[in-house]
Structure formats: C-alpha cells, structure tokens
Amino acid sequence: MRPCLSTTNTRKSSRLDAVSCPEAAAPLQRFIAPGIVLSQTFPLLLSSLHSAMHDLIARFFSLGALEMSAMPAGVFTHLFFRKHEPRSLDVVALFALIFVIGTAVIYTSLPLGFFFATFLVGRWLAFYVGFMLASICGYRISPWHPLALAGIPGPVMPRLSKWWTVHVVARGKRHVALQKLHAKYGPWLRVGPNEVSVCLSAAVRPIYSKLPRAPFYQAAPTQADALITLLDRAEHAHRRVAWNKAVSSEALLAYQPLIHNRLQQLVETLRRRCEDGSAVPLDHWLTLFSMDTMGDLAFSGGFETMANGKDPEGWLDILSLGVVFAGTAGQVPWLKDTLKLLPQQGPIATFQKFAETKVKNIRGQSHVVKKDMLSIIMEETTITEEEAAADAALLIVAATDTTAQVLTALFRHLAQNAPVMTRLRQEVLAAFPALDSELDPLALARLPFLDACVQEALRLAPPAPFGPPRFSGPDGVWIVDRYIPPNTTIHAPIWSLHHDPVNFARPDDFFPERWLAESTLKPHNRDAFVPFSYGYGICVGKQLALRNVRLVTATLVRAFDIQFPVGFDVKAYDRSHKEYGLWSHDSLQMVLRATED
C-alpha cells in the first residue's frame, strides 16, 4: 500500500512544479491548447449534430407517415373500382397522375432533389399498390365476399384472380380442370373472383334463356360487333332476323347443289390421295371441305382450298390463332384496351380485314342477283361495312371449324368401333343403294342410327366445349335454388355436363345406341345435352351444321372403308386435344379404301 501512496504524491508534486515553472510547462502547453480549443468548439459540434439528428428523425417519421398514407388510399381505390370495373387505360392514367402530381408537390415543398422526389413518389406508389392488392386479395378470399355468402365454394387461386383461368386456358386443358373441380366441390363452383360455373342441367334453361351475355364477348379488339358478340338483346334480335332468313329451310334447299358439288370434290380428292394405300390427314381435308363449302354458301365462292391441298393465304392458321387469342384475352376484358395500343393488328382484326374484302366484292356486284348468305344478311338489315365484315368472319368460323371438328370426332370413334361403322353403312346403303346417287338431306335426317352417331359425337366433343358466359346484371338473379349476386359471370360447362355420370351412363364411351328410342340405358338426361347452346343465343347455323355433318358422314361411309393406319396411337391423339373455346389437336391420320374395290 505504501509504494502506491508514494507514487501518487510524486505525480501530484510534478504537476505543481510544472504549473509554477513556465519553462517546465512549455512542452505540456502544446498538448493542452488543442484540448482547450476543442472544449470551446464542442458545444457547436454537438448542436450541429443534434440538429442533423433532428432532421434525420423528422424525415424518418415523415417518410413513415407518407408510406402509411398509402394504406387508406389503396383500400379506397379497391372499394371504388369494386363498384366501377376499371379499364386498363384508367389504371395507367391514375398511376401517371399520382406520379406527376406527387413528384411536383414534394419537389416544390421540400428541400429535396428531383431524383429523391421521384424516388419517394415511386416508393409510395409501391406501398399503394401493395396495400391495394392486399385489400383485393383479402376481400376475394374472405367469408364476406358475396359469392362466399351465397355458399359457392372453390379453390383459392381462382378466387384470387382470373389469371388462373388465363393460365388454364393457355394450356388448353380448361375442360379437364373444370371437370375435376366440379367432382371435388360439387355442381356449384367459383372459378373466378366474380365467376361461377354450374354443372347442373336444371340451370341451363334459366341461365341461357334470360341472362345477357357477359363482358367476355367484348374482350378481343375488333372493328365492329358480329352477331355473336352483341351484348344488347334488342340489337341482337334485330340482326338475328336476317340470319334466320339466310339459314331458313328455303335457303338451305337453294344451297344444296353447292354442297353436293363440294362433296363430290371431297370424295374424288380423297380417292386420289389414298390410291397407294397411304394414310391421309382426314381432319385436314374435312376442314378444307368445310371452308370451301362455306365460301360457296357465304360469298358465292372464292377459297378453293381443296384444289390447292392447303389454305394458300393462311387464313385457317390466323383463325386458329384468333381462337386462342380470344379464349385467353377474354378472361381479362380490360386487356382489350392494352391490346389496342399495339401497333400490329391482332389475329381477329386481321381476319375481319380479310372478310371485309369479301363484303366489298359483294357490294361491288350489287347489280347481280345473288343468293349467298352474306348477300341475304346485307339485304335484310342496314348494317355498316364493318358489321358485315364481322358477320362474314363469324360465318367462316361457325361453319368451318365447328363442322370439321364434329366430323373429325365422329370418324375418330367410328374407326375404333367397327360394328358401329358397319351398322351405319348398312343403314345408309339401305336408304341410298346406288353409290352414285345424290343424297337427300331430308331423308338422311330420318335415319335413326346416323342421327344417333352424330348426336354421340356432339356429346363427346361438343364444338364449343366451354359454356357461353352470361351476366347476372346489376340486381343479381336466382338460378335454381341459389341467388347469384350482382355483376357475376355465370356459365354451364358443356363438356362437363356431357361427361358427367349423373347425366349419362358410361359418359366417356362412344355408344350411339343410347340415343335410339328403344334404348334403356340410364341415366340419359337430354336436358344436359346442349352442344349448340340454348336460348336466344343458340347457334343460328345449327340446322345447316347438322345437315352438312349428316351429308359428309353418309357420303364417306358409303364411299370408303375407314381405318386407323398401323401403329397410330389413338390415346396419344386423344391426349393432344386442347380447348381454347374451340378444339385444337394433332392430325387424325386415316387409311381410306374405296368400297367399290
């Protein structure tokens, strides 16, 4: 302890000596002087630091308040647009307005640079969009959503967004997905934030007899509405009068020579193509036949695809692309405004441009008395050139693809069911023994087994497998025992109805006998059979399509023995089917041998 005290006293004595002796203190002053200066400036530094920290904290809390203000703004936007469906340009304009005004206000009112002001507004917009999306998603999956209150179940992803449907349609497997979901959730199924699928035959009549078309029909950019895309019921009824006259019994009788000539051309073409026993893509030739026939009936000729062996102008490819385009874009209607901004025309607009040239040709020959379908439609109504072109495009789609797809499905199943093919051929030959005799459409309509085969093909592969969407309107509607809330899209999935074991026994089997009067196969629910839709929107060309399908079927089974080529994978062909509103699939290869051989 003593040494420590001694050391302390020694250090204290040295400090006193240094103070009393200036010479001794001089070296120490060099170190003390800066400390004195520092002690004098430290309060100023502390004050500056405190001011900077205050500004930093104030800025931090002001940023937090600004970001938190995005929450009510996002929620309010959701609540507003929930009542007033936005179009894409509305959203773009809203975001642009917020960005410009926000940047201007912050830049002029705060001592911030332009870059930081734009960054701040962009950050606020990110929070704004995030809160808005959170509000939308939370509401859509909440138990307070009107469809949830109506007791309509469904998986989470379709309830959140229609982009789920876009994904499913783009894959071409919507018909399969809907069937699986209905099997899991029941006949009432929520397939969108505000969309319901009803796999119930009792719902078909009320849905399609009284409800207007859904906004889906306005999704694809077009120059004018065709009959099938009109939303106004009165305008639809007015335009339909002319269409009904164009496909009346009298008109169909007048078209018969044109159809007969094309049938002869089809048989001769197939005979040449299969002389060496090689397989031919039957679906391809059926499509070309349908297109040439429709060209004759609608425009008094002009395609000649069978003579070329292909569609030289590529309209069938454009048509196929247009179907996919409309089937996907139609799920998110506000995409229409965005697509309109693109410099290049979409496939549907391109196809309508092609149809417009046909319209101009017809109007340029107004002095010639013509009896084609488009001439009748244009004479009976006062429609613009664009509307006539839209109807012309509809004529090609309705008669070419749908007829060809029904025929393709029928011959695919006939080739796999030899006893059915034999029975059908015997029935046709009994009615028309001479191979070179012209087939009478009215007599064919009275052949029960032919009609049963056509009906079964329509059941297994309806030409439009997705039920046409309808709209519940601003007041909502009761369908069967359910109340459908206002502004809800609703449809009955035709393919699922046709393949539901509740409606049809052995639903996935090709069994034409079920349609015969003497059949006892149960269940057999004819109310669930709607291949041409129902109500005011039923296919206007139904009778023409059925007539052509019967004529082609009877002609080919009478002229050829039709089989699959050796090694043809039927299951792989079936798996290739994709549904975009209409069908797409791999080529159906067939071996055709002339029966007189």
Task: Output the six-digit token pair for 497.
Answer: 């109805």
Task: Output the six-digit token pair for 511.
Answer: 């069994």
Query: Rounded to whole angstroms, how far apart are CA atoms 464 and 49?
Result: 74
Task: Output the six-digit token pair for 59.
Answer: 């800025």
Query: Does residue 366 contact residue 355 with C-beta atoms inside 8 Å?
Result: no
Query: Rounded to whole angstroms, how far apart are CA atoms 189 and 147?
Result: 10
Q: Which helix (H) or strand (E) segment is 166 a member of?
A: helix 163-171
Query: Rounded to whole angstroms, how far apart are CA atoms 496 and 201?
Result: 11
Q: Helices 402-416 and 418-431, interaxial angle, to 10°?
A: 110
Taking Cα atoms as reference points, which of 526, 399, 528, 535 lies closest to residue 470?
A: 535
HEC per residue, 509-541: CCCHHHHCCCCCCCCECHHHCCCCCCHHHCCCC
Query: Does residue 499 contact residue 506 with C-beta atoms inside 8 Å?
Result: no
**How many Cβ atoms are within 10 Å of 368's Cβ, its own excluded?**
9
Q: Amino acid identity, residue 432? A: F
Query: Does residue 185 contact residue 154 with C-beta atoms inside 8 Å?
Result: yes
Q: How far apart are the first and last CA of the chain?
A: 133
**578 phi, psi to nearest 5 deg:** -125, 145
Query: Rounded to whole angstroms, how far apart are CA atoms 164 and 88?
Result: 19
Q: What is the CA radius of gyration of the chain?
A: 37
Query: Rounded to whole angstroms, how far apart are CA atoms 234 and 212?
Result: 11
Query: Rounded to whole angstroms, how far apart are CA atoms 327 and 501?
Result: 27
The answer on whether 199 is annotated among ligand-binding residues is: no
**166 phi, psi to nearest 5 deg:** -55, -45
Binding residues for heme: 539
Binding residues: 539
